Structure 1
Amino acid sequence: MQNNNGESKLEKTAREGAFGSPELKKGEKTRYLGEFEERIMGYLVEEQLQENAVYPEIRELLEKEEAKKLIIRGDMDKNEINKYLEWARELGVRFTRKNSPDFRGNVALAVAGNDAVNYQLGRIEDRQEKLQKKGVSDNIIKNAGTTLCKDCWEQLMEKAPEEKVNYKKPGIFDKLTGTSCTGCR
């Protein structure tokens, strides 16, 4: 008995024993950290993960019921992924780091479901482009992680409140020590 390729069942068994079973959509899985594209809700590329700021869109995806896992490329620095791991733990989403020489492309972090998902964001828009479209000052954008003055904080809350995770609101100590606002410079 022969299959569509003209090989017998014995030949097929021998081939699979020597080389392994053929993998379904292997090219797609090597691009998305071992997952099928239809399971990916959203992802960040390496350059985005290396920024000083985090992407609140990842938290929004992790909060969705379809989100079942956070996948991180194994060569990414722990400091770059800490906040995302913290969110996953907090929201009860399992996470894993994957390494493979077969991975292609620059997907560095992905939120995925166990099956095909209804909500697919794809690659998350670059933070700088998104905030510029919303009218946030370039000084505020490039100084993530710093303390903003009252005016800059209000501008950020008005135009992009989801970004508050990336900045510090000025406190009394900042006012007493005269900490300057990086957004005003």
Structure 2
Amino acid sequence: MNSKNGESKLEKTARNGAFGAPELKKGEKNRFLGEFEERIIAYLTEAQIKEKAIYPEIKEALAHPEAAKLIIRGDIAKRYISDYIKLARAEGLRFTRKNSPDFKGNIALAVAGKGAVSQQFAQIPKREEKLQKKGLSDNIIKNAGSLLCSDCWQELMEKAPEEKINYKKAGIFDRLLGTGCAGCQK
């Protein structure tokens, strides 16, 4: 019996045996680290993942009820992804590193569900641009991971409280030791 394209069942079986079964939406899967786009909750580009700060949107996506796994492109150095792996583990999610010469684009990290998800954040906007729009001072934005004085901490909490995971509030010991605030350079 012939199929729609005139190929017999035997010919189809032989072709699939030699070349593999045809893959559904292969181009889309190569763009999204081996996943269908409708399964992706959020993702970061290579440039974003290499920033000093963690993207709180990824933390939120990992906590999403439909999140099943964190996917990381295999060529990304561990120093850039270790904090994201810790966040995934804290949520009880597995993570996987995937490599393929067929991957296209600059997606380096993605949070995916088991099936199609109801809410997609898609690509997260660049952190610096997002925080500038919120009116946060450039010194605070550029010094992620640093200590902030009470005034700068207050500014952060008023304008971008989700970013508190990327900073430390200076305590009394920091002031006694003379550790300066990165936000206002005090």
Q: Quote the sequence identity (%).
A: 69
- Aligned to 2:169, what secondary structure does the other structure show? coil
Query: Aligned AA for 1:92?
Result: G
Match of 1:133 in 2: 133
Superposed, which structure 2 residues align to 1:157-172 within 5 Å?
A: 157-172=157-172
- The one-character-per-residue Cα deviations of 1:6-34 (angstroms, maximum 9, x if unpaired) are 21111111111110000000000000000
Note the C-alpha offset of 1:149: 1.1
Where structure 1 has 5 or more consecutive residues not aligned to the other structure, the ranges are none
- The corresponding residue for 2:87 is 87
TM-score (norm 2): 0.97
Q: Aligned partners of 1:79, 1:169: CA distance in 2, in Å?
A: 24
Q: How many equivalent pairs are there? A: 185
Q: With the length of structure 1 as denominator, give the TM-score of the two structures.
A: 0.98
Name the Cα RMSD after superposition. 0.8
1:20 corresponding residue in structure 2:
20
Can you give the 5+ residue segments of structure 2 that lack an aligned partner in the other structure? none
Amino acid across the alignment from 1:157: M
CA distance in 2, matches of 1:184, 1:90: 33
User: What residue is the counterpart of 2:62 in the other structure?
Assistant: 62
Residue 168 of structure 2 aligns to a residue whose secondary structure is coil
Write out per-residue CA displacement over residues 67-121 of structure 1, whole angstroms, 9 at most, x where no aligned residue.
Answer: 0111011111111111111111111111111111111101100000000000101
Q: How does 1:114-129 map to 2 (within 5 A)?
A: 114-129=114-129
- Give the aligned residue type for 2:144: A
* Aligned counterparts, 1:45-56, within 5 A: 45-56=45-56
* Deviant stretches of 4+, over 2 Å: none
